Structure 1
Amino acid sequence: MLDTLLFPLEWFVAFVMVSFHNLFTAIGMRAESGWTWALSIAGLVVVLRILLIPLFVKQIKSSRRMQLIQPELQKIQKKYKGKKDPESRQKMTEETMELYKRTGTNPFSSCMPILLQSPFFFALFRVLNNLDEMAAGKREPIGLLTQELASQAETSTLFGASLSSTFLGSDQLSVKILTVVMIILMSVSVFITQHQLMRRNMPAAALDNPMAKQQKYIMYIMPVFFAITGVNFPIGVLIYWVVTNLWTMGQQFYVIRRMPTPGSDAEKALEARRRAKGKEIKKLSIPGLNSSSDDDDDAVEPDGEKVSLTKTGAGSSAAKKSGQRVQPASNKRGKNQKRRKR
């Protein structure tokens, strides 16, 4: 059953890896080199993450919406705090779901990129774990990954370590050293990603809510998780994991700089940069949450979000719409108008 479900994903993984392998050999890299296969695995990560960009954008928008509705969520929780009867719990759940529906917020959207990427991770694990059987002819080739290429990938080495070797399954010192280095890189990249998310992209008021506590737990637990599980994975899978984490770290840095959470230090830094360049200050709001989001100067995005545009200088709303500068009326002109009325 599992073989049937994962076969299409294994075929896709093998197709992408072999395609990148052919590309790298065409530009002069050695076909049997471990570096060629390692870069092919990195290419697989790039393809997957590019395909997941639309979901990642939805994840970011969902996270920003969750931050914006936190005050309303806290009001609901405070309203029913200490009430443990089933009726109160039911009402709190109904009001929470109504808030999600009114503001178009999906608390589960932030998990989608990770959930969708996990099957490909396990498919790569199975492909690399079965290279020896494919090379020996005991297992059918997968797509473009022929018996010859499987044998080539199985015998290729990176710093003297085979890509299909594991920390616990090998006595080679090179395998153990490379595995430890990979685990450290994975742990450091995840820690930096979570740290910049909490310190720069969360409002001070949000650091005490359950979501922030969850992020804090992830920041400290993930390195332990990598250390426990990493010793069981082939080096090729660890390469995939390291490249994925580095991509996530860079992507997170870009998002925090360009699409920060409202009320965070990153948003203040973005506003300061835009103010220094004389650009408009954009404030995100959600229809159904803030009454101020219905202003005429708001730009409505396709997904229902509104961005309030504020000029970085003095001027009326009419001037903002027309783009013309409003000339201030002098005191002398005002006095002349009063005399005419008399």
Structure 2
Amino acid sequence: MKKADRILKNREFSSIISQRHIVKTPSFILYWQPRAGKRARVGISVGKKLGNAVHRNLVKRQVRSMVDCIFQFDEDYDTILIIRPVYARHSYQENLEELRSARKRLGQTNRNKKGGTATMRSKWKILFLCGFVLMGLAGCSAPRGTDGKTKVDQIIASEKIEIPKSQVNTTEIGDETLKKEYGKLKDSDTITIEPTGFGATLSQSWFDGLIVWPIAQLINVFASWTDAGVGIILATLLIQLVVFAFTYKSQLASQRMQEIQPELTRIQNKYKDKTDDRSRMLMAQETQKIYQKYDIHPFGTILVTFIQLPIMMGMYYATMRASAVVYGSFLGMSLSETPIEAFKSLGTGSVQWGPIIIYLLMIVMQIVSLKLPQWLKKYDDKKNGVRRKKYLKENDNPMASTMNMTMYFTTAMIAFMYLSWPIAMSFYWFVSSCVRSLMQLYMHFVLMKKQQKKAA
């Protein structure tokens, strides 16, 4: 075997074994992972049960010779070969035939799963593509004009209402007849808005009809009972509960993944400077035990990500188009204003503190909702008296640093975008972060009680 055909890194051993694609024989265990468009590789692990170092090196040389005879390195998957103690009882020829048989089974399994499991690695790319498509489709209609006001023909109303002309944009609407008619009105005159039907909104775009219209109408209905702010709170609660009902298992998997990150980090630090086969194998086994202990499956958070993105974009457009938000208010502040306008008022005689406070609270709660799983894990460790060894420190771990960087970058990106979005969106995201935090607490303590019952 050439060096380029070998798998040598611990993280690659761990990654392939964690995929759970496995073929077993008396003398071998084969794990495999798709490797589309790249030259296939093989990793070999020989445990101490096979004998001393001299004998293990002999076994490894024999297996490399078998791999050169059997494996074709132009295939589209990597393989990990684990040699079992039974190997020593058989002759070279018997082991060769057994490995050849296992190799055929592995090839058949790979072909059968090629249309399904083998494509899982590309799911994230597909999801990001879907996200950009959704945002592109949503961006086809611009609810606001250049003056920052909602276009009068974009307003979604649940009942017949009258709005002052000064609160809406009438110069950039698509209907030329209405534009001329509204042009004759004074700013103090009122414009009558008829109830917006589902069919009329759907004719503009499928995104507007299927996502924006229902959310906007929810806000309108709830706001008719009190005010626009409470309408957004109740609509957000209902949406989050519906999403939670459909994605409970995915959110639970996401919660678990975040909670076990310190454990995975400590395992990686434990074997950080160890490159021998036994250490790689032990690291992969410990990682796999963690996944099995918490019942975590790969890509468990895909459904949550896929659903949350269009809902967020739908809420963005709904807060600009819902009639209750266009002419409504919450605690005396207009929800159609933007945080950047409020920040511009600093240093003047009339500072708009309401939008600034909501915007800052939104950022704080976003960070809390992202950090909460890690805090809960530390709380459990402290409560249960879990002690960390010196070699298990995670301060210098690159994975932990990357996760923190991603978290803070995401928060900074949201904070930047929401500066120019209506304060209603900051209010929605603040309420959503509060709801997510409460759900995380619920899932964590419900899960912990179940684990305690199983242990008992």
TM-score normalised by length of structure 1: 0.52
Shift of 1:127: 3.3
Q: CA RMSD in A?
A: 4.5
Q: Which deviations, in whole Å up to 9, do the C-alpha atoms of 1:245-292 show, x marking residues without a partner?
A: 1012212223343435xxxxxxxxx7xxx9xxxxx945xxxxxxxxxx
Match of 2:308 in 1: 117
Distance 1:154 1:119, change over 3 A: same
Confirm whether residue 59 of structure 1 aligns to residue 254 of structure 2.
yes
Q: Distance in 1 between matches of 2:415 and 2:355?
A: 10
Distance 1:175 1:36, change over 3 A: farther
Distance 1:112 1:180, change over 3 A: farther
1:1-342 matches, within 5 Å, as 5-6=137-138, 7-10=205-208, 11-19=210-218, 21-22=220-221, 25=224, 29-30=225-226, 33-42=227-236, 43-63=238-258, 73-74=268-269, 77-80=272-275, 105-106=296-297, 108-110=299-301, 113-129=304-320, 131=321, 150-168=322-340, 176-202=352-378, 204=388, 205=392, 207-208=394-395, 209-217=397-405, 224-259=412-447, 281=452, 309-310=455-456
Contact 2:212 2:317 in 1 (8 A): no
Distance 1:79 1:107, change over 3 A: farther
Q: What residue ranges of structure 2 are gaps of 5+ in the alignment?
A: 1-132, 139-204, 382-387
Letter in 1 for 2:340: L
Distance 1:153 1:49, change over 3 A: same
Distance 1:253 1:184, change over 3 A: same
Q: What residue ranges of structure 1 are gaps of 5+ in the alignment?
A: 82-87, 132-149, 261-269, 275-279, 283-306, 311-342
Distance 1:53 1:175, change over 3 A: farther
Distance 1:175 1:38, change over 3 A: farther
Shift of 1:199: 3.7
TM-score normalised by length of structure 2: 0.41
Tell me which structure has the larger Cα radius of gyration.
2
Letter in 1 for 2:311: F
Distance 1:213 1:255, change over 3 A: farther
Identity of aligned residues (%): 17
Shift of 1:206: 6.8
Contact 1:194 1:219 in 2 (8 A): yes
Letter in 2 for 1:230: Y
SS at match of 2:340: coil
Structure 1 stretch displaced more, 177-186 or 208-217: 208-217
